[in-house]
């Protein structure tokens, strides 16, 4: 069968030549389109590293001085008022945990981020750049955010040693960059955070993603002994509580009563939606554009293949008639026609991938770029060979499916023709 397929392709080489050239062009162009889709889809599908499904953000606003509710004497108690407001939120029915976080140093996917670089004090060649996450000890920050410890530790063992702003808890990738492992505590030089020049790493947490469309990047959790004057409240609802129902009830029954001093609650929003908007929303347009281009390319390919075989139906009718006259079954005929398409596609795919491989070796290959060029957790994206092979195999499967589907309909019709009808014009 394979020899017959090769003979048929060679005998019809001039008719198949333009289709073969089209397949090569599609392979080269589609490689460049499908690779970002594969990378972004894989990155977005990876878990955040902490549980976000039952978390809400409670936004707090300060009365302006021109407001009749503003009282100057309350400015001196604003820090304590944040904690009192947090306690009031914590007492609402359905709330499991609540914490106060500074708005600009609070949670992954925030609109702004502050980074720093840690240097191993004993081996200054080892460095890790990452994002600062500030939290208030004793306010259930890690429980509220759904952050879990490493398998060999409890959460209290991990966070209990961080008692000052010079004691950090870092994620696992950062620990490997700095120390090669999790041996703690370890002294580090803190290059940028506040006025600190030396610090100590006292705990390690699993890797987490800062943005939905980035791989896990190093994060450094630092205790803050009091909230800043621009903070918000994060809360986690109890298991089994519908978060949408809770937020609706919160807006109807509690927002109007949640005001202390010059602070009041203005709104509540789902943290998952926030992560999507500020993590994936900005990249979604480019992703959808690549999806649209990919559909266009393969739809055009499918129509081209189908059209080519429809145009060749008359000449193939004679071939099929001869084969059926010699006892060939319709499934043998279909296998032959589908096999021709598979061989043609495979050869075009190999040539197209070779062309793109030479281009990619010079220009690089697609990868998501974290903010400030931070080094993410290692994955298959870091290996050029593995990355290229995975994308090429996905491209091959998609091309082969499109071509075989395009061939199947005319091939099925041809294989059903009676020998007398197929050879009538001979």
* 256, two tokens: 């109007």
pLDDT value at 70 more than 80: yes
pLDDT value at 214 more than 70: yes
26-51: per-residue pLDDT in tens? Answer: 889 889 889 988 998 898 888 888 99
Region label for 55, one of left (φ > 0), alpha (ψ between -120 and 50) or beta (otherwise): beta
Instruction: Provide CB contacts within 8 A for 181, sequence distance 6+.
Output: 175
Nearest to 260 by CA among 407, 78, 131: 78
pLDDT value at 204 more than 70: yes
Give the residue, 114 or 361, on which the prediction is more confident: 361
What whole-number distance in Å separates Cα of residue 105 and Cα of residue 280? 20
Report yes or no: 275 and 108 within 8 Å, Cβ to Cβ.
yes
Q: Torsion angle of alpha carbons 157, 160, 166, 168, nearest 10°?
A: 40
Mean pLDDT, residues 196-223: 85
Q: Got the DSSP string for 268-291?
A: EEEHHHHHIIIIIHHHHHHHHHHH
For residue 98, the cross-strand partners are 235
The pLDDT value given to residue 54 = 92
Which sequence spans correspond to the domains of the chain?
Answer: 2-47+278-422, 55-274
pLDDT value at 348 more than 70: yes
For a pLDDT cut of 70, what percent of the chain falls above it? 78
Q: With both helix axes pointing from N to C terminus, report the angle between 281-311 and 384-415 in degrees, rounded to the nearest 10.
A: 40
What whole-number distance in Å separates Cα of residue 351 and Cα of residue 348? 5
Give the residue, 143 or 117, on which the prediction is more confident: 143
Least confident interval from 146-160, 169-183, 257-271, 327-341? 327-341
The pLDDT value given to residue 248 = 95
305-317: per-residue pLDDT in tens? Answer: 777 766 665 566 6
Confidence of residue 242 (pLDDT cuts 50, 70, 90): very high
Confidence of residue 56 (pLDDT cuts 50, 70, 90): very high
Give me the long-range contacts of 39-42 (CB less than 8 A, separation at least 24).
39/366, 39/367, 39/368, 39/381, 40/213, 40/283, 40/287, 40/368
330-345: per-residue pLDDT in tens? Answer: 667 677 778 878 888 8
Least confident interval from 86-95, 121-130, 278-287, 316-325? 316-325
Alpha-carbon separation of residue 285 from 43, 109, 292 (angstroms): 16, 18, 11
Give the residue, 196 or 294, on which the prediction is more confident: 294
pLDDT value at 324 more than 80: no
The pLDDT value given to residue 331 = 65
Give the residue, 396 or 282, on which the prediction is more confident: 396
Query: 149: exposed, middle or buried (C-beta count within 10 Å: 0-12, 13-18, 19+)?
Result: middle
**DSSP H/E element including 300:** helix 281-311
The pLDDT value given to residue 274 = 85
Confidence of residue 370 (pLDDT cuts 50, 70, 90): low
The pLDDT value given to residue 247 = 95
Matching residue, tokens 């390690």? 204
The pLDDT value given to residue 79 = 81
Give the residue, 226 or 202, on which the prediction is more confident: 202
**Average pLDDT of the chain?**
81
Q: Torsion angle of alpha carbons 234, 239, 245, 247, nearest 10°?
A: -10
Confidence of residue 245 (pLDDT cuts 50, 70, 90): very high
The pLDDT value given to residue 7 = 63
What whole-number distance in Å separates Cα of residue 371 and Cα of residue 218? 12
pLDDT value at 279 more than 70: no
Confidence of residue 200 (pLDDT cuts 50, 70, 90): confident
Q: How far does the chain reach from its first CA to its final CA, in angstroms?
A: 25
* 342, two tokens: 């598979």
- SS3 breakdown of the chain: % helix, strand, coil, rounded to 5? 55, 15, 30
pLDDT value at 133 more than 60: yes
Mean pLDDT, residues 227-232: 70
What is the pTM assigned to this prediction? 0.78
Least confident interval from 5-9, 252-256, 417-421? 417-421
């Amino acid at each position: 069968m394979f020899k017959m397929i090769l003979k048929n392709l060679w005998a019809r080489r001039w008719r198949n030549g333009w289709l073969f050239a089209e397949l090569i062009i599609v392979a080269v162009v589609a490689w460049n389109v499908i690779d970002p889709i594969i990378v972004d889809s894989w990155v977005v599908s990876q878990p955040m590293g902490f549980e976000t499904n039952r978390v809400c953000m409670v936004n707090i606003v300060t009365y302006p001085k021109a407001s009749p509710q503003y009282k100057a004497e309350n400015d001196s108690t604003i820090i304590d008022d944040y904690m009192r407001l947090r306690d009031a939120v914590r007492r609402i029915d359905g709330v499991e945990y609540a914490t106060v976080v500074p708005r600009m140093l609070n949670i992954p996917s925030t609109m702004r981020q502050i980074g720093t670089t840690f240097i191993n004090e004993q081996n200054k060649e080892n460095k890790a750049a990452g994002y600062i996450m500030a939290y208030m000890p004793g306010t259930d920050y890690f429980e509220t955010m759904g952050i879990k410890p490493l398998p060999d530790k409890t959460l209290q063992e991990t966070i209990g040693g961080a008692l000052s702003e010079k004691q950090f808890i870092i994620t696992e990738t950062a620990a490997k960059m700095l120390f090669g492992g999790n041996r703690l505590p370890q002294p580090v030089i803190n290059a940028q955070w506040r006025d600190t020049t030396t610090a100590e790493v006292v705990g390690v947490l699993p890797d987490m993603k800062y943005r939905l469309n980035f791989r896990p990047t190093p994060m450094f959790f630092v205790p803050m002994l009091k909230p800043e004057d621009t903070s918000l409240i994060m809360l986690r609802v109890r298991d089994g509580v519908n978060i949408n129902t809770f937020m609706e009830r919160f807006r109807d029954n509690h927002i109007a009563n949640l005001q202390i001093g010059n602070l009041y609650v203005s709104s509540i929003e789902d943290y998952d939606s926030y992560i999507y908007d500020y993590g994936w929303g900005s990249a979604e347009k480019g992703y959808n554009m690549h999806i649209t281009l990919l559909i266009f390319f393969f739809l055009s390919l499918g129509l081209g293949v189908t059209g080519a075989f429809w145009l060749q139906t008359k000449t193939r009718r004679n071939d099929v008639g001869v084969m059926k006259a010699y006892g060939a079954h319709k499934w043998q005929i279909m296998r032959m026609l589908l096999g021709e398409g598979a061989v043609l596609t495979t050869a075009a795919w190999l040539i197209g991938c070779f062309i793109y491989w030479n281009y990619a070796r010079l220009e690089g290959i697609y990868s998501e770029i974290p903010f400030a060029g931070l080094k993410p957790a290692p994955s298959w994206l870091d290996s050029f060979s593995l990355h290229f092979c995975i994308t090429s195999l996905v491209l091959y499967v998609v091309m082969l499916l499109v071509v075989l589907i395009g061939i199947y309909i005319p091939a099925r019709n041809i294989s059903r023709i009676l020998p007398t009808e197929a050879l009538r014009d001979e």
